[in-house]
Chain A
C-alpha cells in the first residue's frame, strides 16, 4: 500500500500564536511562508474569533484557501527549550508564490527534528569523533581542539595548500549570507586557501563565467518579467519541477493570457498578446507538457535538440536575426563595445591558453565569427530548419508597428552542466544583447538557479583561474586535511566511483592510525594522525546537519543548524532578499555554520599561539561573534553593495517580500531595492559596455566524451525531479519521499526496455568506462530511443559514478553528456512493486 499518514485532524493555530517570517530554504525561488508556534498545551478553536486564520473552521474551506494546512506543514518542535506546536504554511501575501507551496517546500515543518513525532531523528546533535573504531560523541571544545591541532600541523608541513576545503557557496538552508561569510572569513580571510571547491562541482569557480565576463550579471531581471515577455526561451531547464512556483505563479499566467492586464498597464501603447514559449531540451519534460496545456500547442515550440549542441543553435539564431535586421541597433550602439574596441579585445595577449577566456568582442565581429547557417545548425542539432527559423521569429521578429519583441531567456543546468559551458553561455548572452533584451521589462537573460543565493566572502582572487581541480588532486593523493562543509562528494561529484575508492583508502589509513592511540593522549593522537598523513592518509572533518555518505569516511562530524533554527538571510532568483527568522532550537548542541567557523578560528588561534606562531595566529582574530547576527553585521552589512542599508530589524519589518538587491537606500524605514539590473544600459564592466563573445563550435569539448559516446549505447542524461530536494540529504529520511522514490529512476523508451528484457520497476545497472550505478526502470514513451534520463545525486544509486572526469577549461564539470550501457540487475524489488509507473504527464 502506498504511504498514508492516517492523520485525520490537526491542532488549530490559536489567535495567540507567534508568527515568524520564513523563506523556503530549498530551491532558488524562495517562496514566502509563515511559521506559527504556540505552547504545547494550547490550541485554537473552530470559531472564527478563536483561531489565527480568522475563519470558521467548522466549514469546508474552498480551493486555494489560506485557512488550511497539510499534515506535512505541522510538527512539534523545541523552542527556547520548550515543546511547541509548529505550522509552516505558504504566505498568500508573498509576491513570489502568492500562497503556493510545492512538494518540497510544503514539507519544511515535517522535515524538522521532532523527538515527539519522530521526524528527522538522524540529525546530528553533538560533535562526533572516530574513537575506538566508530563515531562517538564528544563536546565542541574537544572536537575543535583536535581539528585545529591536526590542521595547524598539516599547514606547518605542507603550507595552506595542504588544507583542502569543500564548502557551500549558496543561500537557503545550510547556506546564507551569515554562513558563507563565516566560512569565507576563515578560509579566505584568516587563511588564503587555494584548494577549495563548492558543493556541486570539483572547483571553486563560477557556473556562469561567460555572462559575467561579458558584463552581464546572471540574475538581472525580476520574476514579473516572465509575465510581461512576448516570448520566453527556456534552455536546458525544467522549471515546473526545479523552479516550481516561479513557473506556476509567473510563467503560467503569461502562457494562459491572464497577465494581459499587467502587460497593458506596464507596457502602454504596445501590442500585447498571451506569451509564447520556446523550450530547448533534448527531453520532452513535464514543463513542455504543462506549457502545451496552458498555451496550446501552437504557442509552444519544443526544440528537442541533439544533446550538447545548444551552442550551434544559438549561433544560428544570432546569424539569422542579424541578417534579418531584427536587432536593437540603438541598444548595441549605446551599451555594448564599439567595433574599434572589439578588435583590440580580440587581440589581447593570453587568449586561447588554458583558463583564458574566449575572445570578447563587439557585435559585428561576433556575428562574423559565429556565422552559422540554418542548414548547418539543423544538421548538427538534429532540429528542423523551419523550427529554428520559427524560434528566431518568436524571439526577435518585430511586433506590429515595428515594436521590438520582448524576449526573456532563462537557462540552467542543461547549459551549466552541459557541453562547452563557457562558450554556450556566451552564445546565449550574445542573442540577448543583440536583441536588447537585458535591463528591460519582459526581458532578461538569466540563469534560473538551483539553490538560493547568499554569497558574502572576502575576495577569492587567490584561488586563480582556472581554479584547482580539487577532486582530482585528492585522487592524486594531495592534501593532508580536508574540511567539508555541507558537501557530499560521494553523491554530487563526477568520476565519483574513483573518488570514493581513493578517499576511503586515504581516510582509512588515518582511522587505523587513530585506533592505535588512546583518545585522551592528544599529542600521541596528533602524532599518529600526522604519521598516517605523511604516508598518504587524509584527515577528514565533516560539518553537516545529517550523517552524509562522504561523512562515513570522516574522523570528525560537527553538527550544524539550518534556517529556522537560526536567523538566516538569502536572496532568490530575482535578487529578493529576506530574513528567515529563528522559530525553533537547533537539535542538541548543533550550531549555525558561521559560529562553528568562528569557534574553529579561535581554536586555530589558540593552537598557533601555543606553537609560537604569533603573527599567523593574529590573522585568526576578529571572530568574536556570539550570534549569527554578529556574522551578518561583520559580513554582508559591511561588505556587500548596499549592505549598509540592510539590518535584521529592517528585514524583519519587510516580511516575506523583503527587497531586491542591491539596496540603494532606506525610505520611511523600508529598504529601497532594485527591481531590474542594467535599466540604465550600463553593464558590469569598467567602461559600462557589455561585450559580445566569439563562440565557435568545437564538438564535444570535455575530455573523453566523444570516445564515450562512440563506445556506449545509451545517453545517460540526468537531473532533478519535483519531489526531491537536491541530493535528498533530508528527503532520504522522509517516509513520504522514500516510499515513492526508494531508488533513483531512469526514464527509458519502452522499446529499449523490451530489447533489454527490462520491465517497469526492474533494477538496472548503468555501466561504462568509469564506473557503474543502479536505478529502476521507468518506461517513458516520450523518451527518444537510446536517450535516458536518470535522477541525479540520489543516495541509493549515484549517477555520478558513471560521469567521467572531463571538465571545461575553467573546471566546470560536464555531467549531462554521459554515455553508458544498461543491463538488467534484478526484477523489481519489493519497494518498487508499490510504485505507479504511469506517465507523470498531465493530460485531459
Chain B
C-alpha cells in the first residue's frame, strides 16, 4: 500500500503550492527584543475577513474547497442541510473547517455518507455536525472551525478560527 506515502506528497504539494504568496493581513510576530517606541500589539490575533463563496454555490453535502486565513491554509465549506452548532446562513447549516489534520498535518477527506472529515495518515475522524469534534484520533484538539458570516446577498465571509492551525504557531502568518 503506497496510499499513505502518496497522501504525504499530496499534503506537501498543497502546502507548498501557496508559499511565497503574501497573505492578506499577515501580522508580524513580536520580535525577540521589543523596539523602543513601537506601537503596542493587540492582544488578539487580527483575522482577515475573507470572502469564501456565495450561498448559491453550495449544494447540500458537496464540500467546496476554500482557504483561510490565507492560501496556504486549505479548508472546506459544507452546506449540511440541517441546523448544527456553529452553523451559519439562514438555515444555520453552513460550516467551514480547516482540512489540515491537527495531528500530523495530512489533508482530510470528506465522507458524505456520515458527514465526517477523515485523515488517511493515522485514521483520525472529525464530525462536521458537531463543531469538528474529533470522533477518534490522535490529535490533541478538535478540528479548527471558521467563524462564518453570511451577508444579505448570501456572500459567505470567514472571520476567525477557533483552534491553532497545524503547521503554524500563529494562525495569521
A68 within 8 A of B: yes
CB distance from A738 to the nearest CB of B (A): 13
B31 within 8 A of A: yes
**B169 contact from A5, A68, A256, A836, Cβ within 8 A:** A68
Q: What are the residues of chain B within 8 A of A1 when measuring CB–CB? A: 85-86, 131
A844 within 8 A of B: yes
**B168 contact from A42, A60, A110, Cβ within 8 A:** A60
Of B54-62, B75-83, B118-126, B150-158, the one contacting chain A is: B118-126
In the complex, what distance in Å separates the CA atom of A629 from the CA atom of B104?
A: 36
Nearest opposing residue in chain A for B9, CB measure: A63
Are B170 and A8 in contact, with the CB atoms below 8 A?
yes
Q: What are the residues of chain B within 8 A of A110 when measuring CB–CB? A: 140
CB distance from B29 to the nearest CB of A (A): 5
Interface positions of A from 542 to 576, Cβ below 8 Å from B: none
- Binary CB contact string for chain A from 21 to 50 against chain B (1 if under 8 A, 0 otherwise): 000000000000000000000111110001
Are B5 and A258 in contact, with the CB atoms below 8 A?
yes
Interface positions of B from 28 to 87, Cβ below 8 Å from A: 28-32, 44-45, 47, 72-73, 85-86
B127 within 8 A of A: yes
Are B171 and A63 in contact, with the CB atoms below 8 A?
no
B137 within 8 A of A: yes
Are B140 and A103 in contact, with the CB atoms below 8 A?
yes
Say whether chain B's binding surface is mostly helix, strand, loop, or mixed.
loop
Residue from the set A43, A45, A103, A107 with the largest chain B CB neighbour count within 10 Å? A103
CB distance from A555 to the nearest CB of B (A): 37
Knowing A1-B86, A844-B118 are in contact, say whether A45-B31 is a contact too (CB < 8 A): yes
Are B32 and A42 in contact, with the CB atoms below 8 A?
yes
CB distance from A749 to the nearest CB of B (A): 18
**A840 contact from B125, B162, B164, Cβ within 8 A:** B125
Interface size class of A (residues with CB under 8 A): 35 or more
A647 within 8 A of B: no
Nearest opposing residue in chain A for B145, CB measure: A4
Q: What are the residues of chain A within 8 A of B140 when measuring CB–CB? A: 70-73, 101, 103, 106-107, 110, 736
Nearest opposing residue in chain B for A834, CB measure: B130
Nearest opposing residue in chain B for A64, CB measure: B104
Are B1 and A722 in contact, with the CB atoms below 8 A?
no
A95 within 8 A of B: no
A58 within 8 A of B: yes
Q: What are the residues of chain A within 8 A of B132 when measuring CB–CB? A: 2
**B130 contact from A2, A69, A256, Cβ within 8 A:** A2
Knowing A43-B32, A838-B135 are in contact, say whether A62-B16 is a contact too (CB < 8 A): yes
Are A722 and B136 in contact, with the CB atoms below 8 A?
yes
A14 within 8 A of B: yes
In the complex, what distance in Å separates the CA atom of A107 from the CA atom of B103?
A: 12
In the complex, what distance in Å separates the CA atom of A639 from the CA atom of B156?
A: 69
Are B169 and A60 in contact, with the CB atoms below 8 A?
no
Are B19 and A59 in contact, with the CB atoms below 8 A?
yes
- Binary CB contact string for chain A from 819 to 844 against chain B (1 if under 8 A, 0 otherwise): 00000000000000011101111111
In the complex, what distance in Å separates the CA atom of A347 from the CA atom of B137?
A: 53
Q: What are the residues of chain A within 8 A of B31 when measuring CB–CB? A: 45, 50
A701 within 8 A of B: no
Knowing A7-B163, A103-B139, A838-B127 are in contact, say whether A62-B169 is a contact too (CB < 8 A): no
Nearest opposing residue in chain B for A46, CB measure: B29
In the complex, what distance in Å separates the CA atom of A14 from the CA atom of B113?
A: 46
Of A210-218, A292-300, A790-798, A807-815, the one contacting chain B is: A292-300
Are B169 and A12 in contact, with the CB atoms below 8 A?
yes
Interface positions of A from 494 to 542, Cβ below 8 Å from B: none
Q: What are the residues of chain B within 8 A of A65 when measuring CB–CB? A: 105, 167
Knowing A4-B162, A70-B102 are in contact, say whether A836-B168 is a contact too (CB < 8 A): no
A286 within 8 A of B: yes
A198 within 8 A of B: no
Nearest opposing residue in chain A for B70, CB measure: A60
A642 within 8 A of B: no
Are B106 and A63 in contact, with the CB atoms below 8 A?
yes
**B141 contact from A57, A59, A722, A736, Cβ within 8 A:** A736
Q: What are the residues of chain B within 8 A of A208 when measuring CB–CB? A: none
Are A7 and B164 in contact, with the CB atoms below 8 A?
yes
Q: What are the residues of chain A within 8 A of B167 when measuring CB–CB? A: 60-63, 65, 68
Are A9 and B45 in contact, with the CB atoms below 8 A?
yes
B148 within 8 A of A: no
**B137 contact from A9, A103, A258, A295, Cβ within 8 A:** A103
A257 within 8 A of B: yes
A653 within 8 A of B: no
Knowing A63-B8, A736-B140, A836-B133 are in contact, say whether A843-B111 is a contact too (CB < 8 A): yes
Knowing A69-B169, A107-B140 are in contact, say whether A60-B130 is a contact too (CB < 8 A): no
> Would you give 12 A-B contacts (Cβ < 8 Å), ordered by A?
A8-B172, A9-B171, A58-B29, A62-B12, A63-B100, A72-B141, A103-B138, A240-B123, A256-B2, A296-B1, A834-B130, A842-B136
5 additional contacts, CB 8 Å, given A7-B163, A8-B45, A836-B130? A7-B164, A8-B170, A50-B32, A57-B169, A722-B138
List the 4 shortest-distance A-B pairs measured between CB atoms, nearest first.
Answer: A840-B136, A842-B123, A63-B105, A72-B140
